[in-house]
Amino acid sequence: MTTIDAHCHIWTPDTERFPLAPGHRRANMEPASFTVEELMKQMQGVNVDKVVLIQMSFYGYDNSYMLKAIADHPDKFRGVAVIEQDEGDPTELMKQLKKQGCSGFRIYPKDRQFKTWLSSDTMHTMWKVGAAEHLNMCCLMDTNGLPALDQMCRMYPQTPVVIDHMCRIGVTGEIVESELQALCDMARHRNVTVKVSAFYALGKKSPPYTDLGPMIEKLLTAFGPERLMWASDGPYQMQPPHSYKASVELIRDGLSFLKPTDKEWLLAKTAERVFYS
């Protein structure tokens, strides 16, 4: 069975060819290197066939390194780009990036208030283009950003939305039931999907991550397997004591409530539909 990792970052120590964005330094790069070649070696080790690449913050709005990886390996990679979300008209840039293998755009509150983080004219245009071009709005946020997201999903029901890392519920070490319910309530929007990912950062933050099982099971009940997708959040998931193997094995073998058909969706079919179709 094909396996797709729906979320991984890459970067190169070659900062002359691929310079860092203002405000970022080589010292910020931890690990110092996680190139596309290093990722592919990791993929081979755990039988992952494809990866959705997420633009790394080190590069700001310059998606060049990610785009090169996609161009060099179009059968393996798709991209989620980062562009200016608060100013200007992004329509043509979004269409251009789609032609270069990007099927989503990462959005996040940045320094905005949570109630208004999706209110700019540029953001509204992004959602309109997303609906027309089937480009995903990929949200990096905590549950305090959900009310604004819920409002946008009501305004633009045709826009596909992906919520990263189970909305980071459990990052404090505690799975708060009210936060989990708020995320499950987003299942009312049929074009919202959720990444079951970043296990190293949630709950007990310790392999084999089975403490996250009840949260994943509740998300499965709310969204169905067709709207959940596994992702690693590499390379962070790959730093000891964590590993790529432990992440994917939680879905492959670690949760007794997952049926074989559920695993097919979480490990490949959902990401294939959302990012590769």
Angle of helix 177-185 relative to helix 146-155, nearest 10 degrees, comes to 10
The residue length of the chain stands at 277
Exposure b/e, 183-216, CB count within 10 A at least 16 = b: bbebbebebbbbbbbbbbebbebebebbbbbebb
Domain 4-276 has CATH 2.60.40.10: no
| Number of helices (H), then strands (E), in the chain | 10, 8
117-154 pLDDT, tens digit per residue, is: 999 999 999 999 999 999 999 999 999 999 999 999 99
Q: How confident is the model at residue 266 (pLDDT cuts 50, 70, 90)?
A: very high
Are 271 and 232 in contact by the 8 Å Cβ rule? The answer is no
Instruction: Give the whole-angstrom CA distance, residue 253 versus residue 263.
Output: 9
* Residue 27 confidence (pLDDT) above 90: no
174-222 pLDDT, tens digit per residue, is: 999 999 999 999 999 999 999 999 999 999 999 999 999 999 999 999 9
How is the chain split into domains, by residue range?
Answer: 4-276
How many Cα atoms within 13 Å fall on the side-chain side of residue 52?
33
183-196 pLDDT, tens digit per residue, is: 999 999 999 999 99
